[in-house]
Amino acid sequence: MAALSGRDLLSLADLSPKEVQELLQMAIELKSKKLKLQCNKVLGLLFSKASTRTRVSFSVAMYQLGGQVIDLNPNVTQVSRGEPVEDTARVLERYLDIVAVRTFAQQELETFAHYAKIPVINALTDLEHPCQVLADLLTIQECFDTCAGLTLTYLGDGNNVANSLMLGCALVGMNVRVATPIGYEPNAAIIDTARLIAGNKTEVILTNDPEAATKGTNVLYTDVWASMGQESEADNRMPIFQPYQINEQLLNLADPEAIVLHCLPAHRGEELTHEVIEGPQSRVWDQAENRMHIQKALLASILGGE
Ligand code: CP
Ligand code: NVA
């Protein structure tokens, strides 16, 4: 049951292919109510960036497991007054059973995890968004019955979501194509890790050609062109990213059964059109719901059912 007992999840690369499959299966059983788990533990949410989905889905998942949640907004803690991350981690571990951290630098998350003996979950950094991608894989699995052998195309900024998607696809045997403007490619070390995981079984393709990347694909995915912390670059990025917009013309190049995903929040008219996000191939609301189911599985797996 507690396959990830006591472990951190700082990167999707922390999980093996088998562990990802077990989490997906556990989430499916929790969602269908075939599996009921109880844990009487306390989760802290230490978020230095805004969040709707991650905050609420983690909270509801924990409540449904019978646990408690404390929202540790930096503005109401000493974090915003400069208390070092090393000190915060060593204090919070004395109170909490597990903590989800949303911050800027991956290094800060790693420092926190190093000093906190309790499990630490990456709830988004500038480098990765592993919980999002676990929910994305669950959504793909539900739509196609399996992830293995499918192709996912990510269009836009080579950001945290793109990085975790490359790892996630490689872990479940999906081909992944990432199309970005020149200079906005995903993290080089993560590309290498994803290729290592994929081996000679699947492809991890990087390109600057959105049309070639979209042809025949099964899953078309995009995210905002300027992530949290990059707001000042948003206007300059607009014309650079325009060719990577998911619109009906581009969607027509994908497999006719293709689905469209977006981690949300979405900017209609920028990375995708109103017609596409509201259209019949969009699965973004199921995708958002699945954040709760997969995170419940993750919490139960790390904390152990009681
Ligand atoms: N997709 C996602 O992580 O959304 P929030 O920023 O609202 O948590
Ligand atoms: N790439 C986006 C994801 C938001 C869920 C960001 O980091 O702002």
pLDDT by residue (tens digit) across 63-88? 999 999 999 988 889 999 999 999 99
Question: Which residue shows structure tokens 């994929």?
Answer: 198
Does residue 138 share a domain with residue 79? no
Where residue 17 sits, what CATH number does that domain have?
A: 3.40.50.1370
Helix axes 284-303, 17-31, angle to 10 degrees: 110
Do 267 and 123 lie in a common domain?
Answer: no
Does 305 score more than 60 pLDDT? Answer: no
Per-residue pLDDT, 306: 45
| The total number of structural domains that make up the chain | 2
User: Strand 219-222 to strand 120-122: parallel, antiparallel, or no bridges (unpaired)?
Assistant: unpaired
Burial class (CB in 10 A: 0-12, 13-18, 19+), 5: exposed
- Nearest ligand to the C-alpha atom of residue 131: 1
Question: What pLDDT, on a 0 to 100 scale, did the predictor assign at position 196?
Answer: 98
- By the 10 Å C-beta count (0-12 exposed, 13-18 middle, 19+ buried), 34 is classed as exposed
163 CB near ligand 2 (under 6 Å)? no
Mean pLDDT of the chain: 96
Percent of the chain surpassing pLDDT 70:
99
Largest CA distance in the chain: 54
Tell me the ligand closest to 126's alpha carbon. 2
- Provide Rg for the chain, Cα atoms: 19
- pTM (whole model) above 0.85: yes
Over residues 134-150, the mean pLDDT reads: 98
What integer pLDDT is reported at residue 147 of this predicted model? Answer: 98
Q: Does residue 159 form part of some domain?
A: yes
Ligand 1: which residue has its CA nearest to atom 3? 54
Task: Using CA atoms of 122, 126, 128, 131 in order, give the dihedral in degrees to the nearest 10.
Answer: 50
Q: Which of 170, 174, 173, 251 is nearest to 210 (CA)?
A: 251
How far apart CA 24 and CA 6 sit, in angstroms, is 19
Do 155 and 72 fall within a single domain?
A: no
- 73 and 140 co-located in one domain: no
Residues 6-34, mean pLDDT to the nearest whole number: 96
Q: Is the pLDDT of residue 190 over 80?
A: yes
| pLDDT in the model for residue 2 | 57
Is the CB of residue 241 less than 8 Å from the CB of residue 206? Answer: no
Is residue 80 a part of any domain in this protein?
yes
Q: What is the predicted pLDDT for the residue at 1?
A: 52
d(CA 121, CA 109): 9
**Taking the CB of residue 290, how many other CB atoms lie within 10 A of it?**
26
Q: Which of 160, 184, 271 to mutate to test the pocket of ligand 2 (most atoms within 8 A of CB)?
A: 160
In a domain, residue 296? The reply is: yes
* Parallel/antiparallel/unpaired status of strands 98-102 and 120-122: parallel
C-alpha torsion 189→191→193→196, nearest 10:
-140
The pLDDT, as a whole number, for residue 133 is 99
CB of 264 shorter than 6 A to ligand 1: yes
pLDDT for residue 113 is more than 70: yes
pLDDT above 70: residue 16: yes
Four-CA torsion 84, 89, 90, 95, nearest 10 degrees = 130
- Domain check: are 222 and 210 in the same one? yes
Domain residue limits at 65 = 12-128+291-303
Task: Judge if 104 and 21 occupy the same domain.
Answer: yes
Instruction: Tell me whether residue 234 is in a domain.
Output: yes
Would you say residue 41 has pLDDT above 80?
yes
213-271 pLDDT, tens digit each: 999 999 999 999 999 999 999 999 999 999 999 999 999 999 999 999 999 999 999 99
